[in-house]
Structure 1
């Protein structure tokens, strides 16, 4: 899958403010900024996103996925601190 296809999958099921997808073969690093994450712990955020990419993982087109998740407020804070 291309990074653009992965981004389209996630945008189709999540209200994304910002997103970045990097791939190396079928390994993906994905950063998602969404207020859908407000009030969710890290595990719940991951579960929400994994549900959106379940089919490509099951089909083997995605093998390893690493998510970084932020609410819009967390993202803005990380940028102010130079962490993003």
Structure 2
């Protein structure tokens, strides 16, 4: 499975504002940005991303995921922090 395929799955199922996916050989890093993550626990945020990918995890096509989720405000703050 390629990064682009994961991007397309997440984009189709979740319609997030921004999604970044990087990785290969079944190991991927995901940055997901949308206000749906606002005020949710860390576990609930992770579940949102895992759910559309669970079939591929179960089939061992995806071996590991590193997921970072941000609200739009959190993402803007993070970007501004690094652009100073």
Report the TM-score, using the length of structure 2 for normalisation.
0.91
Which structure 1 residue ranges, 4+ long, deviate > 6 Å from structure 2? none
The total of aligned residue pairs comes to: 83
Output the aligned Cα RMSD: 1.3
List alignment gaps of at least 5 residues for structure 2. Answer: none
Contact 1:15-1:35 within 8 A present in 2 as well: no
Higher helix share: 2
List alignment gaps of at least 5 residues for structure 1. Answer: none
SS at match of 1:31: strand
Report the TM-score, using the length of structure 1 for normalisation.
0.91
Give the drift of 1:17. Answer: 1.2
